[in-house]
Amino acid sequence: MKWSEIYLKTLKEVPSGAHISSHILLLRSGLISMSSQGIYVYNTLFLRSLQKLSNLIKKELEKNQAREILMPMVQSKEIWEESGRWNKFEGLLLKMESRTGAKLCLGPTHEELIINFVKPGLSSWRDMPLNLYQIQTKYRDEIRPRFGLMRAREFLMKDAYSFDTCFETAFQSYQKMFQAYQNIFNQLEVDYVVVKADSGAIGGNHSEEFHILAKAGEDELLVSQDMSANIEICPRQDAKKTQSSTPELKKMEKFATPHIKTIDQLAHFLSIESKELIKILFFINQDQNQASLKNKAFAVLCLGDDEVSLFKVKKELCLKEQPILADKEAVYKITGVEPGSCGPHKLKIEVPIYLDNYLKGKRNFITGANEEGFHFKNVNIDRDFKVKAFGDFCFARERDLSPQGFSFKKYRGIEVGHLFYLGDEYSKKMGLSYLDKKGKKQFVKMGCYGLGVTRTLQAIIEQKHDDKGILWPFCIAPFAVHICLIDGEENSRISKAQEKLISILDKQSLDYFIDNRKERPGVKFKDADLIGLPLRVNLGLRDLENNQIEIFVRKTGEKHKVNLSDLESNFFLTKFLN
Ligand code: ATP
Ligand code: MG
């Protein structure tokens, strides 16, 4: 393919609105171009990478008995109502109405549609296991699309769905997908980790994520020998195990803390660290939205420098929805003061008080006195306030220990793949049942497996680039070789050498992109670095005088002068790629 045959415009300047390297490089290289917020045109070169990655994914899935289908992107309201997600999909559904008044949405995922599709035919245990996948455009009406294809509104996803008769075979289906994902990411030569994850809006009870490691990643991951997890859900070891002695209960004392509004200000005021203080936060249980404050509000107490995870609170308290932080007005009604001087002792409205596990065994807390500008010293559990329950409510940190006592290392990652064991959650809601060997009706056990194809490509660029441009891994590079014509094709020596080179590349099954623009060599080299194909061949008259061409390895910057006749015989260009 020649540059002159496609539409490809590179940019010298950093485009406005792009803040991370991969986004800047994708725009500057002209590989993608924004059409509207979170929606992009994929240029010819980028599309080739997408196709290569899609083929690699397909190959690994097919090896694991997953079979391809293609479902519609437009879905009907009825099936989303059946699953109960029409109003629940975190506001990401783009809804519309047809000319006949039918309510529709653009598919952000396809659990509903595929269940509806397989329902008539999955009637017997003989029809399973079944694993179907598609690679298709998804639309999620993301509130704040950002970082290019990382969080786009329209993006390409591989989504697979497995159907089994029982947990044992469903778990085998899950494991097969897990293996396929590992094979895919190993071939992409990227640094990645697999972590335990929250199952989010998809539901289900077993879930893992594949993350490509990158500083610009939106997710924080804690990795240790026995457990790796997204920080949102990573469990913390009970403080009990690290506590030794229990101090005496001291007498409660009130002291003035004028103008103190935050934990950090209080720590500074008392010349102690914020982890020695206790923080109280009030939440509203969304499941009880209509209830009185007494019945829907609750408090969580934790160490002053800990941060409450809404995921964990939801899980620990078995809530259907994540709770929200109580506003100033609600806090005032519960405590009689504004946030800043609140504490658990003598609330105006007695709401349940939960304590983070890290407070187990701790005594003589410093907390707000529920009186503007005052705090208490020596506040104690049971004596001064009642505890409803202890739980794991806060984000884990690098200094915490894993369940088996190993230390954690913190990484930032980009979620590229997500596996869920769904069990019969959706089958029950949508009536997906079969008759077992005894003729008894049972619900199908499902799994679903997403892989962001466009996000993966950008995440790879985020990990593999230098200050000049992209460093494509060979297997998904738009082309293997970038041929820079230093002198014009109209010169017969150049065109002959080019023909010869092309026939050699064809024999070696390497695809190539020819920069035949009438530009200075310097411009061409800069653009070649930016686009980042693994190998560059410079074809110029000066080298051809000696029957030579110049080969440039993008990743290492090595240059080699090679005789054209050597290339023809036994000289494989791929040797430069390792
Ligand atoms: P996130 O937590 O990043 O919002 P998610 O957990 O909601 O993603 P899933 O429902 O697990 O996403 O979707 C499967 C995969 O699709 C993700 O692992 C990711 O690779 C990709 N994906 C999801 N949302 C987007 C998006 N807005 N832009 C690009 N890719 C996305
Ligand atoms: Mg996910």
Segment 263-269 mean pLDDT: 93
d(CA 47, CA 183): 22
How many angstroms does the Cα of residue 108 sit away from the middle of ligand 1?
A: 9
Query: For all residues of the chain together, what is the average pLDDT?
Result: 93
Answer whether 148 contacts ligand 1 (Cβ < 6 A). no
Does the C-beta of 141 come closer than 6 Å to ligand 1?
no
pLDDT at res. 239: 46
For residue 504, what are the β-bridge partners? Answer: none
Quote the ligand 2 centre to 556 CA distance (angstroms). 35
pLDDT at residue 205, as a whole number: 61
Among residues of the chain, what percentage have pLDDT more than 90?
83
Measure 453 CA to ligand 1 centroid, in angstroms: 10
- The dihedral through the CA atoms of 555, 558, 561, 567 has a sign that is negative
Place of tokens 């738009």: 478
Distance linking the first and last C-alpha atoms of the chain = 24
> How large is the average pLDDT for residues 198-226?
83
How much of the chain, in percent, has pLDDT values that exceed 70?
97
Shortest-distance ligand to the CA of residue 141: 1
Q: Ligand 1 within 6 A of 415 CB? A: yes
How large is the average pLDDT for residues 248-274? 92
Residue-wise pLDDT for 520-570, tens only, equals 999 999 999 999 999 999 999 999 999 999 999 999 999 999 988 887 776
Which ligand is nearest to the Cα of residue 159, counting in written order? 1
Q: Which atom of ligand 1 is nearest to the CA of 209?
A: 18
Q: What is the pLDDT of residues 42-54, one digit of tens each?
A: 999 999 999 999 9
- For 420-452, b/e burial (b = at least 16 CB within 10 A) is bbbbbbbbebbebbbeeeeeeeebbbbbbbbbb
DSSP assignment, residue 381?
A: B
Name the closest-CA residue to atom 14, ligand 1. 450
Mean pLDDT value across residues 148-166 = 98
User: Is the Cβ atom of 469 under 6 angstroms away from ligand 1?
Assistant: no
Q: Is the pLDDT of residue 248 over 90?
A: no
Strands lying side by side in the sheet with 94-97: 74-76, 103-106, 94-97
The β-bridge partners of 156 are 137
Q: What is the pLDDT of residue 405?
A: 86
pLDDT of res. 164: 98
* Residue to mutate (ligand 1; options 111, 112, 157; most atoms within 8 A of CB): 157
pLDDT at 149 over 60: yes
**CB-ligand 1 contact for 452 (6 Å cutoff):** yes
Q: How do residues 69-118 score in pLDDT, each as one tens digit?
A: 999 999 999 999 999 999 988 789 999 999 999 999 999 999 999 999 99
User: Would you say the CB of residue 417 lies under 6 angstroms from ligand 1?
Assistant: yes
Our answer on whether the CB atom of 152 is closer than 6 Å to any ligand 1 atom is yes
Q: Which residues contact 108 (CB under 8 A, 6 or more apart)?
A: 89, 92, 93, 94, 138, 139, 140, 141
Contact present, 275 and 305 (Cβ < 8 Å):
yes
Residue 23 has pLDDT above 70, yes or no: yes
Where is pLDDT greater, at 574 or 308?
308
Residue 204 binned pLDDT confidence (cut-offs 50, 70, 90): low
Choose among 260, 36, 56: nearest CA to 141.
36
> Given ligand 1 and candidates 190, 231, 412, 455, which is best to mutate, with the most ligand atoms within 8 Å of its CB?
455
pLDDT in tens, 297-321: 999 999 999 999 999 999 999 998 8
Task: Confirm or reject: Cβ of 39 under 6 Å from ligand 1.
Answer: no
| Shortest-distance atom of ligand 1 to CA 159 | 14
Does residue 196 register a pLDDT over 90?
no
Question: Is the Cβ atom of 232 under 6 angstroms away from ligand 1?
Answer: no
Among protein residues, the one with the nearest Cα to ligand 1's atom 24 is 151
Q: What does the chain come to in residues?
A: 578
pLDDT value of position 578: 65
Q: Which atom from ligand 1 is nearest to the alpha carbon of 451?
A: 15
Instruction: Grade residue 135 by pLDDT with cuts at 50, 70 and 90.
Output: very high
Q: Is there a cis peptide before residue 129, judged by omega within 30 degrees of 0? A: yes
Band (246; pLDDT cuts 50, 70, 90): confident
**Closest alpha carbon to 446 in 94, 274, 199, 259:** 199
Over the stretch 440-492, which tens digit does the pLDDT of each residue have?
999 999 999 999 999 999 999 999 999 999 999 999 999 999 999 999 989 99
pLDDT, residue 146, reads 95
Cβ(368) – ligand 1 distance below 6 Å: no
pLDDT at 241 over 60: no
**What is the pLDDT at residue 236?**
85
pLDDT at 250 over 90: yes
Q: Is 203 in the pocket of ligand 1 (CB under 6 A)?
A: no
| DSSP per residue, 300-325 | EEEETT--B-HHHHHHHTT-SS--EE
Q: Tell whether pTM > 0.75.
A: yes
Residue 289 pLDDT grade (very low, low, confident, very high; cuts 50, 70, 90): confident
